[in-house]
Chains A and B, each alone.
Chain A
Amino acid sequence: MSTGKLNKKDGEYAHHFKNAEHEYTSSKEGVWIFLTSEILMFGGLFVAYFIYSNMYPEVFAEGSKSADWRLGFLNTVVLLFSSLTMALGIYYCQMNDRKKAVLNLGITILCGAIFMIVKYFEYSHKIHLGKMPGMWFSGDTHGIENLPLYFSFYFMMTGLHGIHVVAGMCLVGWVMIRANRGEFGPKYYTPVEGVGLFWHLIDLIWIFLFPLLYLV
Chain B
Amino acid sequence: MASDHHIIPLTTYLKVFAALIGLTFLTVITAKGMDLSPINGAVAFTIAATKAGLVMAIFMHLWYDAKSNSIIIFGSFAFVLLLFVFCVIDIYTRIPVESTL
Count of interface residues, chain A, beta-carbon cutoff 8 Å: 54
- Kindly supply a per-residue 1/0 record for chain B positions 23-65, scoring 1 wherever the CB is within 8 Å of any chain A CB and 0 otherwise: 0100110011000000011001101100110011011110001
Known contacts being A43-B79, A87-B59, is A204 close to B73, with CB within 8 Å?
no
CB <8 Å contact, A211 and B48 = yes
With a cutoff of 8 Å between Cβ atoms, the chain B residues found around residue A19 in the complex are 1
Main secondary structure of the interface of A (DSSP, over half): helix
Contact residues on B (Cβ < 8 Å of other chain), bracket: 35 or more
Interchain CB contact under 8 A, A200 and B31: no
Which 10 residue pairs of A and B lie closest in terms of their CB atoms, listed nearest first? Answer: A43-B80, A36-B76, A211-B44, A215-B31, A39-B76, A84-B17, A32-B69, A87-B59, A47-B84, A186-B3
Q: Do most interface residues of chain B lie in helix, strand or loop, or is the interface mixed?
A: helix
Contact check, B60 vs A197: say whether CB atoms are below 8 A apart.
Answer: yes
Could you say which residues of chain A place their CB within 8 Å of the CB of B21? 77, 80
Contacts A187-B1, A204-B52, A207-B48 given; does A80 touch B24 at CB 8 Å? yes
Indicate whether A46 sits within 8 Å of B80 (C-beta atoms), given known contacts A51-B91, A69-B28, A216-B44. yes
Residues of A within 8 Å of B56, CB to CB, are 200, 204
Q: With both chains docked as a complex, state the minimum distance between the C-beta of A84 and any C-beta of chain B, in angstroms.
A: 4
Question: Contact residues of A with B, CB < 8 Å?
Answer: 11, 19-21, 24-25, 28-29, 32-33, 35-37, 39-40, 43-44, 46-47, 50-51, 53, 55, 69, 73, 76-77, 80-81, 83-84, 86-88, 91, 94-95, 186-189, 193, 196-197, 200, 203-204, 207-208, 210-212, 215-216
Check if B7 sits within 8 Å of A207, measured CB to CB: no
Residues in A neighbouring B73, C-beta threshold 8 A: 32, 35-36, 39
- In the complex, the answer to whether A200 meets B55 with C-beta atoms within 8 Å is yes
Residues of B within 8 Å of A32, CB to CB, are 69, 72-73
* Residues of A close to B20: CB separation below 8 A: 80, 83
Q: Which of A11, A43, A87 is the most central at the interface, judged by chain B CB atoms within 10 Å of its CB? A: A87
Contacts of B48 in A (CB 8 A): 207-208, 210-211
The smallest beta-carbon distance between A96 and chain B, in angstroms, is 10
